[in-house]
Amino acid sequence: MANKIVLGRGLASLISSASEESGKAKEAVDELRVDLIEPNPGQPRSEIDEEGIAELSASIALHGLLQPILVRPHGEKYEIVAGERRWRASRMAGLETVPVRIVSLDDGQSLEIALIENLQREDLNPIEAAYGYKRLLAEKQITQADLAERVSKSRVSITNALRLLDLPEEVQALVFENKISAGHARAILAVPDDETRVKLAQKVVEEGLSVRAIENLARLSVAGGIPSAGKRPVSPKSYKAVARKLRRFLTTNVRVKQTKDKKKIEIEFTDENDLERIYRVLTGDDKPLVRAQ
């Protein structure tokens, strides 16, 4: 097992340790063309704050990019390890080149650094953090206690985060979209069946119920005081897996849904440029789309 790397030592220490393990690192700051840099499809953060990026872009246009982006070689281009928001904002600001630090990291090290950077900046919602933890546990083959030490979290907080992945896809999506809190979600987990879990989550959204109110309703439900939700289609586990992979691949929110009459995939986009970006990712077509005059 690799040596433990603790968040409290800071990202710089983490990056240096990972680079020493690989034996390949360029500590100097280089300049790279923006079009030679591409986002990491394994980035734990899948939701992009376009408003925040626009604000950062205005600052970069005025003062330049002050902090280098961390990248690793990826074919003929470079893949972002940390700093995707800065890259997007720089591209929006019209910069042709950006300062970078080039390091050689494997997939596990890249994921760990990206996850820790986002945790430090509080850029991850609870569902993104939970999937990041799950991937690190699997790829690093470490225990929850080891993971807690690496990311400077308590063992209980790691366990609670991972429990959110036991929720139905519909409820996870509500947490992902910040329509219900992680506290609501943990209270809902007290109910054993998915149908009632979805019902309670919908009550939070529709009625603005507090966490305490949901805890009370969950206890009543377990005791038989609340009728079970009516029969509804149960989505296969593959729907959840596909939605998660599409979110990472397209770097936007994706939902795979099933109702009585139809099944559908919903892909969110922010504007015309974002729609064109998604089109190109899906089709591989780099030609400009024809727009109405």
Which residues are catalytically annotated? 84
Helix, strand or coil, per DSSP, at residue 56:
helix
Helix, strand or coil, per DSSP, at residue 129:
helix
> Of 153, 156, 201, 195, which Cα lies nearest the Cα of 179?
201
Q: Quick one: 101 exposed, middle or buried, by C-beta within 10 A (0-12, 13-18, 19+)?
A: buried
- The sheet carrying 77-82 orders its strands as 30-33, 97-102, 69-74, 77-82, 37-38
Q: In angstroms, how far is the first alpha carbon of the chain from the final one?
A: 60
What's the CA gap between 197 and 200, in Å, rounded? 5
Side chain identity, residue 74: H
Helix, strand or coil, per DSSP, at residue 253:
coil
Q: Are 142 and 136 in contact (CB under 8 A)?
A: yes
